[in-house]
Amino acid sequence: HATTGVWLLGCKIEGVLVDFCIDYQPSSNGGFDTILIAINTYGEIWEFSLTRSGKVIRKWKDHGGVAITTIQVGGGTSSAQLLPGKKIRSNRWLATGSESGFVNVYDRNGSTEKAAATLDQLTTTISSLEFSPDGQILCIASRAAKDALRLVHLPTGTVFSNWPTSGTPLGKVTSVAFSPRGEMLAVGNEQGKVRLWRLNH
């Protein structure tokens, strides 16, 4: 507990846990459920309800996913937007990144039997996945190579060709974040620089 420091509950998966993210889903009583989504290196995904004492509500496999490095949800309410009185929106998208550079994007409103999009524009380890607040853009990046960052339009899965360009000074990207309304993108790199880009879409 953040205030008392008292241990609340634990969630356990099989294998090596490589990443996790938090999803929020509206419930029938007007509240919401907090969902912990964890993934191991083999692409096995567990979804735990933290509202219901860590109960496993779903377990599934990232199809084709091997050597997974990161997972993220987007297109709904994030932890940064969780404010009293504000309506909770379910996250539509879930993305996984791997050591080979492949990114699978799933539509959480549909089936997880098949990815809505498989992205192969980067060929090195995916280290960052970040959705814009409205879920229309997915930013993927790898810190293993210089200027390895792409913006992907959703739901089409189309990579924006007009930015970044070959002259965009990104460096080796270590962190990315969208502003709360999605009009700006912050990109941090190994040189300790953070550049703020205005998105004119």
pLDDT of residue 160: 92
Q: How far apart are CA 74 and CA 108, in angstroms?
A: 10
Q: How far apart are CA 133 and CA 196, in angstroms?
A: 16
Q: List average pLDDT for each run of 10 residues in the chain, which is 201 residues long.
A: 92 95 88 94 95 93 88 90 81 95 92 87 94 95 94 94 88 94 94 92 62
pTM exceeds 0.75: yes
Q: How far apart are CA 36 and CA 57, in angstroms?
A: 10
pLDDT of residue 74: 95
Q: For residue 79, report the phi and psi dihedrals to the nearest 5 degrees.
A: -60, -30
72: tokens are 């993220």
Q: For residue 81, report the phi and psi dihedrals to the nearest 5 degrees.
A: -100, 5
